[in-house]
Amino acid sequence: MNDWLIDDENLSLGRKSLLPGAGFFRPDSIEAEQEEREAAETLTDASVIVVADPDADGLACTALIRAAHGSGTLLPTSPHELRESFEWIAEYAPPEAELFICDLCPDRTGDIADLPAVVDRLGGATWYDHHQWDEDLAAEVRDAGVDLTVGDSDEVCTADVALSELDAEFDESLVDLAAVTRDHDLWIRDDERSDDLADYAHWVEPEEYIETVLEHGPDLPPEAADLLAERRVEKEALIEKAVDRAEIHDIGPWTVGVTYGRCSQNEVAEALREQGTDAAVIVKPAGSASIRGTDSFERCHEVAEQVSGGGHPKAAGCKPEIYDDMLDYAHHWTTQGAVAKQTIIEAFKRLDTESAQVE
């Protein structure tokens, strides 16, 4: 396949909105080999290892750990990559290294299958999070020898947890960083800086973000502001396309907005909320979906758990298990996620039925 076929620079905005990014088309086997090589290089001489989701919350935790310990080698990890990261740490990390896991919640026992080997190698680990944890999984993590602290997902982000648990005195700028990160992560949006942090974390490499917030806290420097202004032109256009193609469904007592596209899901959800929805579903071209709630719908994680996902009461994610081959993905792109949309709508309906039975 010619590279230009998946090069975003060759796509119109309309087509870019409908198709996944170039990374989607790279085979997992090749990606995994490269990631393991990079992980081995990253871990070999690390004294403090941070396994974190590379969003603004996970990266803020990494910055706080570096400030507290003087170092902190980041191993970026999404929730579905937890098992691989633990495998690599068990094999490549120095036995004397200190391990922190931040802003990640296992979905199933298989995600933590190699955690006992990690603890045996390192002698222990510390885990900070604020997601909705299954009690049995939390007990299994603690039984493995991990010091697990899970904050209230309605009140704090993981950076708040790290700030309170780390034994260190932090500069006021880092205390402020945690507060602004919370403002975005919990979708409070009282602080105009919080969207800047989220976008900046998404658009620059993790190391650049960590170095920037360690120096400046949540008040980003002019060069960062210039980058944000430039990138937001396209961002706003992609948001508009996703909002325009949204469909509104009445499911039991809830009004649910459902749409598709490569876009910033939080802003799309906010726009749909302003149109009167209780919840929003944003299906992505890569097959995953974001579910966002409001004060009138705080059960996003219950919907997501039905379709291979999880998260918070007002913010969750999932990837329905409906893709068996590339023809399924082709259908997904050409129908703007029709099967994924219907699968998630059915999950809302089951939730409504279960609620009615309880009543």
Q: Find the range with the poorest average confidence among 106-110, 128-132, 246-250.
A: 106-110
Question: Identity (one letter) of the amino acid at 157?
Answer: C
Domain boundary among 169, 189, 220: 220
Are 184 and 330 found together in one domain? no
pLDDT at 3: 73
- Nearest to residue 106, comparing CAs of 127, 84, 85, 82? 82
Are 91 and 164 found together in one domain? yes
Q: CB of 214 within 8 A of CB of 66?
A: yes
What CATH number corresponds to the domain at position 163? 3.40.50
Are 154 and 244 found together in one domain? no
Is residue 155 domain-resident? yes
Q: CB of 212 within 8 A of CB of 198?
A: no
pLDDT at 292: 96
pLDDT at 324: 94
Quick one: average pLDDT of 7-18?
87
Are 139 and 279 found together in one domain? no
pLDDT at 151: 97
C-alpha 264/C-alpha 286 separation (Å) is 14
Are 251 and 216 found together in one domain? no
pLDDT at 358: 64
Could you tell me the residue range of the domain that residue 48 belongs to?
44-220
Is residue 173 domain-resident? yes
Are 106 and 213 found together in one domain? yes
pLDDT at 23: 81
Sequence length of the chain is 359
Q: Is 77 helix (H, G, I), strand (E, B) or coil?
A: coil
CA dihedral 274, 276, 281, 284 (to 10 degrees): -40
Is residue 198 domain-resident? yes
pLDDT at 117: 95
What CATH number corresponds to the domain at position 298? 3.10.310.30
Q: CB of 139 within 8 A of CB of 109?
A: no
Domain boundary among 161, 189, 220: 220
pLDDT at 311: 84
Q: How confident is the model at residue 359 (pLDDT cuts 50, 70, 90)?
A: low
pLDDT at 25: 84
Are 130 and 209 found together in one domain? yes
Q: How confident is the model at residue 35 (pLDDT cuts 50, 70, 90)?
A: confident
pLDDT at 8: 78
Q: Which has more confidence, 207 or 35?
A: 207
Are 104 and 205 found together in one domain? yes
Domain boundary among 185, 220, 255: 220
Quick one: average pLDDT of 89-97?
95
Are 215 and 256 found together in one domain? no
Is residue 138 domain-resident? yes
Quick one: average pLDDT of 270-290?
97
C-alpha 260/C-alpha 339 separation (Å) is 11
Count of structural domains within the chain:
2
- The alpha helices in 19-128, defined as continuous H runs, are 28-43, 56-69, 82-92, 115-122
Quick one: average pLDDT of 85-107?
95
For the full predicted model, state whether its pTM sits above 0.85: no
Tell whether the model's pLDDT for residue 1 goes beyond 70.
Answer: no
Are 158 and 96 found together in one domain? yes
C-alpha 29/C-alpha 350 separation (Å) is 36
pLDDT digits 0-9 by tens, 316-347: 999 999 999 999 999 999 999 999 999 999 99
Whole-number mean pLDDT of the chain? 94
Quick one: average pLDDT of 6-16?
84
pLDDT digits 0-9 by tens, 148-189: 999 999 899 999 999 999 999 999 999 999 999 999 999 888
